[in-house]
């Protein structure tokens, strides 16, 4: 499933994870499109498309001629969205696989 996703969505997920984890805290400037493209070995247009989605979602603010900054509350918004997506799309599949394999939730708690 992940292998079929467009590159800009994969980049978007990486950037979102970095924001959630505090690598790009609120108020901090994101790397430039060119810098991130070079770092990721991606086309700058692909990076720009990923950044555009953050801008459209109101998670970054553009200061013309300066760069893009992470807005206040972006990490919490992203965390909430990812949690909802996980519970809606990924968890049912994981739960079904656990059931097939006979894994009890208590066993998972013991593994960590």
Domain boundary assignment for the chain: 2-111
pTM assigned to the model = 0.82
pLDDT band at 45 (very low <50, low <70, confident <90, very high): very high
Element (H, E) at 13: helix 7-20
68-92 residue pLDDT tens = 999 999 999 999 999 999 999 999 9
What are the residues facing 60 on neighbouring strands? 70
Hey, what CATH class is 2-111 in? mainly alpha
pLDDT band at 1 (very low <50, low <70, confident <90, very high): very low
Backbone angles phi, psi at 24, to 5 degrees: -125, 85
């Amino acid at each position: 499933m992940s292998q079929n996703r467009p590159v800009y969505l994969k980049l978007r997920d990486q950037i979102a994870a970095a924001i959630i984890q505090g690598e790009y805290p609120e108020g901090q400037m994101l790397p430039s499109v060119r810098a991130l493209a070079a770092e990721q070995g991606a086309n700058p247009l692909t990076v720009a498309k990923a950044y555009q989605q953050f801008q459209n979602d109101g998670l970054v603010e553009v200061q013309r001629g300066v760069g893009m900054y992470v807005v206040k509350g972006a990490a919490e918004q992203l965390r909430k969205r990812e949690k909802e997506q996980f519970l809606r799309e990924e968890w049912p599949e994981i739960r079904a696989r656990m059931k097939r394999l006979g894994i009890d939730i208590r066993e998972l708690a013991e593994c960590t």
